Structure 1
Amino acid sequence: MAFSLGARDRVTTLPKVNRRALRKYGEFWRALQLVGDALTEAEKLTAKARDAERRGERKSAKGVSAKAGATARHAWSRATGEEMSAAAKKAHRSLQVMSASAKRWEAELVSREWRK
């Protein structure tokens, strides 16, 4: 997902508004790349969580209250490895749709001034 601004001399001849729009689009594209990198890391962590579950290392999610001597149990739980994997895949698909849409509308986004 690399975005090339092209030759620098071409950028300097553009009107100020187009340079700003081009810069904003570049920032937007870079943000999409950073989200993609974060999702890749999340998928790696979900693989580790699934492996830990398979080995039986998952501890019970229920615990005792923070008060000393309390007998109440919490209803806290964490997502399973499969749930985390499904969420990461869903987010990755959404990012692909957004990237494809951004690429399709690139000319429109670059030609117009971005609103603040």
Structure 2
Amino acid sequence: MQIEALNRRARERYGTFVGAMDMVLHALDETNALINQVQRKPAGPGWTVATKEELRGMRRAAFEELERLRRKSKKYEAELISREWRL
């Protein structure tokens, strides 16, 4: 009985984690439209503004990190399944 509750909690927590990664992926997809709207205007004194290329590079780096985290989480998911979701 106690193990079943732990297993259910582990599945719920993993599902929440995967859902959060999906939300971040969706947010990264939304940034494309925002990056395309960036105009090259001089910033005020003491301010710098990232260029479209810099923003795209930052987005790409974030996406790569998210994909690496996804791969690691899939490995963990397989481990949970192989143990019948026991902690």
CA contact (8 A) 1:61 1:77 kept: yes
> In 2, Cα distance between the equivalents of 1:96 and 1:77?
30
| Corresponding residue of 1:111 | 86
Percent identity among equivalent residues? 35
Instruction: Identify the match of residue 41 of structure 2 among 59, 70, 83.
Output: 59
TM-score, normalised to structure 2, is 0.82
> In 2, Cα distance between the equivalents of 1:108 and 1:29?
15
Once the two structures are TM-superposed, the CA of residue 22 in structure 1 deviates from its matched residue by 0.3
> In 2, Cα distance between the equivalents of 1:60 and 1:80?
11
Once the two structures are TM-superposed, the CA of residue 80 in structure 1 deviates from its matched residue by 0.7
> In 2, Cα distance between the equivalents of 1:111 and 1:44?
43
Rg (Cα) greater in structure = 1
Q: What are structure 2's unaligned runs of at least 5 residues?
A: none
Q: Which has the higher helix share?
A: 2
TM-score, normalised to structure 1, is 0.63
Q: What are structure 1's unaligned runs of at least 5 residues?
A: 1-13, 53-57, 63-73
Once the two structures are TM-superposed, the CA of residue 105 in structure 1 deviates from its matched residue by 1.1
How many equivalent residue pairs?
Answer: 81
Higher relative contact order (CA 8 A, sep 6+): 2
